[in-house]
Structure 1
Amino acid sequence: MIMKTLMMDEADFLDFQLFGIASNFSDPAQFVFHLNRVYETQFSRCQDLDVKIEGEVSYYPTFEWEDCQSGILYYIIKNAAYSLNSSENERTLSGLFDVAPPIIPQFKQYNYLLKVMDLDDVQLPMQEGAYIQKIVPLEIDHIKTINRLIF
């Protein structure tokens, strides 16, 4: 039997816009709660984004919301995660709370990422304010680890 390999370019899967969010809330549940309350969004927790970095699996809390009026799908991903440290003793909980590297190390100054599944010029459902210090569009063409956000 002849084996064929299909080579695909990573750029074919980049059908989203990415924004960096700097917030004073480090707890993602608390951050999303305030977003939903103030901006009348409906983000809800979905399955964590599991990424294998340097042999360790890291878990990034992820929230999603589909705006029914525009049909746009939004994801909020915490840029920092927790990993299960397999080299530690499994009987202790200390390995559970080892902080893993950021999912996008180039932008570690942003503690949240907003992934917008639309390529048009979208109006963000939130803006800078009391607990959102900065929202900045990120150039995904220049991010080395963008493949971690393809899901």
Structure 2
Amino acid sequence: MAIHKIQINDFVSDDYELIAVHSSLDDYKLAYMLNKELGVQLSKNLAYVEIAIPEGKSAFSNYIFDDEKNDVVWTLIENKTTIINSNKQTTSLFEQVDITVFLLPEFKKADYLIKIENIDYGFDSESIVDKIQEIKNVTTAYTIDITNLKSKNNLIF
């Protein structure tokens, strides 16, 4: 009998674009501005993206838009969140330690990520980046090369 192994790499596809956004805006304000500027309809996803780390479980808020007409899924997700270390026994309120967790640790300076799934080869990500950079309080935006990304598995949600 043959043994078939299924690896996580079998499910990872590179048919998406990833855009990093540096901004001081709150997530709901950025989602609103992206909706206005890009003509999308991002709405709050009640299911948080969770990543388990030794210190505890982290939860990242996100906004999603499923463009059924073009069969494209847009996701705006925060890149960093703070958790309280729940494993350490504390005797005082002042001894609690907040831990910052990054969805993509390679891009710690990026505040948000935009994942655009099911794109075809004619997708123009540079025009999207240009429109994002026109938003007030967005410092910069750029595409991320996903081929050499070490924490690629964090983007499976």
TM-score interval, smaller chain: 0.7 to 0.9
Matched, 1:57 2:57: yes
Distance 2:56 2:154 in 1: 14
Matched, 1:73 2:73: yes
Unpaired runs of 5+ residues, structure 2, are none
Structure-2 residue corresponding to 1:8: 7
1:87–1:8: structure 2 CA closer, same or farther, 3 Å change rule? closer
Unpaired runs of 5+ residues, structure 1, are none
Contact 2:37-2:132 within 8 A present in 1 as well:
no
Matched, 1:122 2:123: yes
Distance 2:151 2:87 in 1: 25
Distance 1:105 1:79 in 2: 9
- SS state at 1:122 partner: coil
1:89–1:42: structure 2 CA closer, same or farther, 3 Å change rule? farther
1:6–1:103: structure 2 CA closer, same or farther, 3 Å change rule? same
- Amino acid of the structure 1 residue aligned with 2:132: Q
Higher strand proportion: 2
Contact 1:77-1:113 within 8 A present in 2 as well:
yes
- Amino acid of the structure 2 residue aligned with 1:145: S
1:1-151 alignment, distance < 5 Å:
6-10=5-9, 12-14=11-13, 15-25=15-25, 27-46=26-45, 47-87=47-87, 98-120=98-120, 121-123=122-124, 124=128, 126-129=131-134, 130-151=136-157
Number of residues of Structure 1 aligned to a counterpart in Structure 2: 149
- SS state at 2:86 partner: coil
Contact 2:34-2:132 within 8 A present in 1 as well:
no
